A = this chain, B = another copy of it.
Amino acid sequence: MCKLASRAYKEEDTIVQVGNVLIGGDEPVFIAGPCSIESAEQVGQIAQAVKGHAHILRGGAFKPRSSPYSFQGLAEEGLILLQRAGQEAGLPTVSEVVSPEDVELVAQYVDMLQIGARNMQNYALLKKVGRCGKPVLLKRGIAATIEEWLMSAEYIMSEGNPNVVLCERGIRTFEPLTRNTLDISAVPVVHHLSHLPVLVDPSHAAGKWDLVEPLALAAMAAGADGLMVEVHNHPDEALSDGPQSLLPKRYCQLVEKAREIRALAKRRKTNV
């Protein structure tokens, strides 16, 4: 089992700072933005639309796609656009890094590095982000056990980086009606085993925008430390993940409801 990531090693909850945002504290944290950064206008408009409700702006510049013929992201150009949109909206940023060779490049532009589900056991990459100063958002692999996920956090932490935030995004099962099966139990199980914060990404779990809200609210009720949600100003024209993206207006309504549910869930803890 894990050491540095375990609750046995460190009893109090870890709080990870990203820009001026604290993840893991009393307040839930909301990360929003497009799956892929497509243009200055696109990411800028989305950032402006969510800035009152989201705390951190997300956007993919290096996209891991199942097909080599799918849109692979704008690379460094995308990172520049994300950084600018974040600065104009007053939001810190997070973006995925897919190769050890790109860690320094991505770290120049963003406030938090994301490790995607496909790379959860890309140990060379984990070690590299472990030696980088930036906080890390570590998604669960599609067929990773919770123990393996925590061991991947351990890879990052054992290289000297304690600022790891976990993100549950659904696992692969036999059920075809959802893209993945959100393992909502992972939230309380991780909180029991580890001191690290755990977020939920309902967008990838659902695969359809109309399932995002119930899953997001469920995550808040289960005690998640925040949400990462895909938001797009024109989902029908998105270059990736359009069907599971929310419009900004709907997203902002979701955040308000999520806050209320989360406050109730937090109150629960102090009562019992």
Give the B-binding residues of A (Cβ under 8 A).
3, 64-69, 98-102, 118-119, 121-125, 127, 141-143, 145-148, 151, 154-155, 158, 171-178, 181-189, 192, 205-206, 210-211, 213-215, 217-223, 250, 253, 257, 260-261, 264-265, 268, 271-272
Give the complex CA separation of A137 and B145 in angstroms: 26
Give the complex CA separation of A148 and B125 in angstroms: 22
Give the complex CA separation of A155 and B147 in angstroms: 30
B175 & A68 in contact (Cβ 8 Å cutoff) = no
The 3 tightest CB contacts between A and B, nearest first, are: A143-B143, A99-B124, A221-B221
Report whether over half of chain A's contact residues are helix, strand or loop; otherwise say mixed: helix
Give the complex CA separation of A219 and B182 in angstroms: 13
With contact pairs A146-B175, A185-B211, A222-B217 given, residues A98 and B123 touching in the complex (Cβ less than 8 Å):
yes
Closest to A130 in B: B68
A174 & B143 in contact (Cβ 8 Å cutoff) = yes
A174 & B174 in contact (Cβ 8 Å cutoff) = yes
- Set of chain B residues within 8 Å of A3, measured between Cβ atoms: 69
B265 & A154 in contact (Cβ 8 Å cutoff) = no
- Set of chain B residues within 8 Å of A147, measured between Cβ atoms: 177
B122 & A118 in contact (Cβ 8 Å cutoff) = yes
- Set of chain B residues within 8 Å of A171, measured between Cβ atoms: 173-175, 181
B174 & A187 in contact (Cβ 8 Å cutoff) = no
Instruction: Choose from B64, B185, B186 the contact partner of A121 (Cβ within 8 Å).
Output: B64
Give the complex CA separation of A158 and B158 in angstroms: 37
- Set of chain B residues within 8 Å of A119, measured between Cβ atoms: 121-122
Give the complex CA separation of A272 and B186 in angstroms: 29
A185 & B67 in contact (Cβ 8 Å cutoff) = no
Instruction: Choose from B65, B100, B218 the contact partner of A222 (Cβ within 8 Å).
Output: B218
- Set of chain B residues within 8 Å of A187, measured between Cβ atoms: 214
Instruction: Choose from B173, B219, B264 the contact partner of A264 (Cβ within 8 Å).
Output: B264
Give the complex CA separation of A151 and B64 in angstroms: 12
